[in-house]
Amino acid sequence: MDYLITGATGFIGRHLVPKLLAAGNEVNYLARRRSASLDSRAAFHLWNPGEPPPLDSVPTVDIVMNLAGEPVAQRWTQPVKRRIYESRVDATRRLVSAIERLRHKPSVLISASATGYYGDRSDEIITETSARGHDFLAGLCAQWEQEALRAKEFGLRVVLLRIAPVLGRDGGMLAKILPVFRSGLGGRLAGGKQWMPWIHIEDLINILLFSAETPNVEGPLNATSPQPVTNAAFTHALGRALHRPALFSVPQFALRLAFGELARYMTASQRVIPEAALAAGFRFKYPDLAGALRNLLE
């Protein structure tokens, strides 16, 4: 199969590309610059996301995976929020419009979204049919998904992956908090009662491949382990896996001082389950947190 990927140079893309190449696929990626760390068999195509992507220069593609976006885990100034929005909503609009103009269209578009779609939901169990939230991230995800869904109008199967925070050694949330926990200074955030969805990087890559290969999968798919945990349970499990105490508790006001508006999203409660993926037959290799952390940390 011929794949076209945006965001291939990021944390998720760096795990995805080797898997696709090893399975004998052709990989093309659209990026702002060539990545020295990606396998040179992956073909680079320069894309300034403020302009239409140059799909004329890309050979015939079967499957598009759309993973690009300005990092969300940073202090949100107005320019940062604008980049977070434009690099997802506007860039996806340009990508889909360019696909529409192709004579030989791909059959599938798998587009990233996030569990942030659901907002802050206390103890409610959230599936793909749950309503969206009403904050900045929820609105962003909803508009990002709407832009991707337009590809359905001209015949593509569109999968919207609502991705939970991804656990991996070399990126995402875990890599950021590990130094604090390793030094014994880890702890709960704002009381720790809030639910945290999460997914092991290997399961996420497998959901991406499963979405590409399974013809009846379409629409929103929660890419999250079937066992969300509270932040207190996550803190305990991580301290245990590292053989370090994790007794601290960081109050909301301190988070707000350090992270500004983002703090509210760091403590949002989202008890999300992957109902659609399980119903479609996807099996998680790392359904429970202790097993996932053992694999990643030992």
Ligand X SMILES: NC(=O)c1ccc[n+]([C@@H]2O[C@H](COP(=O)([O-])OP(=O)(O)OC[C@H]3O[C@@H](n4cnc5c(N)ncnc54)[C@H](OP(=O)(O)O)[C@@H]3O)[C@@H](O)[C@H]2O)c1
Give residues in contact with ligand X (CB under 6 A): 7, 9-13, 31-32, 49, 67-72, 83, 87, 91, 112, 114, 163, 165-166, 171-173
Which is nearer to ligand X, 33 or 243 (by Cβ)?
Answer: 33
Q: Min. distance of Cβ 42 from ligand X in angstroms? A: 11
Distance, in Å, from the CA atom of 244 to the CA atom of 184, rounded to the nearest integer, reads 5
Distance, in Å, from the CA atom of 248 to the CA atom of 246, rounded to the nearest integer, reads 6
Distance, in Å, from the CA atom of 105 to the CA atom of 280, rounded to the nearest integer, reads 25
DSSP 8-class letter at 191: T
Closest residue (Cβ) to ligand X? 10
End-to-end CA distance of the chain: 35
Q: Min. distance of Cβ 233 from ligand X in angstroms? A: 19
Which is nearer to ligand X, 85 or 181 (by Cβ)?
Answer: 85
CA dist list (Å): 6 to 38, 88, 244, 250: 13, 11, 38, 36
Which is nearer to ligand X, 30 or 242 (by Cβ)?
Answer: 30
Q: Min. distance of Cβ 250 from ligand X in angstroms? A: 20
Residue 196, exposed/middle/buried by CB under 10 A (0-12, 13-18, 19+)? buried
Q: Min. distance of Cβ 31 from ligand X in angstroms? A: 3
Which is nearer to ligand X, 165 or 192 (by Cβ)?
Answer: 165
Which is nearer to ligand X, 12 or 149 (by Cβ)?
Answer: 12
Q: Min. distance of Cβ 72 from ligand X in angstroms? A: 6
Nearest alpha carbon to residue 117 among 131, 103, 105: 131
